[in-house]
Amino acid sequence: MARIRKGLLKCVVPALPLDRLGVEGAPSDDMWSRDIKMGKHLLPVYADLLYRLQHNALFLGYRFKHRDESQAQCHHGCGVLETAPHLFWYCTAAVQVWSMWLPAFQVFFETKLEWESILFFQLKPTPVAKKEYGYCLFVMLHIVRAVIFRCLWMHRNDLRFHGMQPNVIDSKLRLLP
């Protein structure tokens, strides 16, 4: 068996195309195993969207900017190219949705809750929060980020494919407990 393993071709894993995610450098290797572990707390549709977002596999507007007939701009009327960082973090609709949740979680983390730290879950809790809440704190934030990402994605799809009008209140209501 060992001879067979030695004879197998060793492939180098290609780097993720993270430039369109607005992220510098690749996430640490332990991030992926942690994310898989956290994925068990989500419904598969939420985990799938998060996986596709982290691997830059969503069909956002910037991918179609070379086509004249396609809509490559933000569907919320921002007038900028639709990219993952814009749609899920910098868009006015995203800012309004995140503004309800970020202050509540920021007090538990030393790391500033920003696009990259939320996307790749690179967070450091305060010592008090780590002692008091431990793993549960990470699970709660993981669920909230996945639900927000999916609500923003579904609202974007409603705007693009169903002719709806931008409605941040609708997105916020979907997230209320």
Distance between CA atoms of residues 114 and 89, nearest Å: 8
pLDDT at residue 150 in the model = 93
Other CB atoms within 10 A of residue 159 CB: 19
Q: Read off the pLDDT band of 1 (50, 70, 90).
A: low
pLDDT at residue 142 in the model = 95
Q: Read off the pLDDT band of 165 (50, 70, 90).
A: confident
pLDDT at residue 175 in the model = 59
Residue 15 makes CB contacts below 8 A (sequence gap 6+) with 26
Which pLDDT tens digit goes with each residue over 92-108? Answer: 999 999 998 999 999 99
| CA angle (117 as vertex; 111, 122 as ends), nearest 5 | 75
Distance between CA atoms of residues 19 and 16, nearest Å: 9
Which pLDDT tens digit goes with each residue over 109-160? Answer: 999 999 999 999 999 999 999 999 999 999 999 999 999 999 999 988 888 8
Q: Is the pLDDT of residue 174 over 70?
A: no
pLDDT at residue 3 in the model = 76
Read off the tokens for 166: 């931008």
Read off the tokens for 42: 């989500």
Distance between CA atoms of residues 3 and 137, nearest Å: 46
Question: DSSP assignment, residue 26?
Answer: P
Q: Read off the pLDDT band of 173 (50, 70, 90).
A: low
Residue 168 makes CB contacts below 8 A (sequence gap 6+) with 92, 93, 96, 97
Give the dihedral of Cα atoms 129, 132, 133, 135; nearest 10 deg.
90
Distance between CA atoms of residues 94 and 13, nearest Å: 33
State the distance between the two ends of the chain, measured CA to CA, in whole angstroms.
53
Q: Whole-model pTM?
A: 0.83
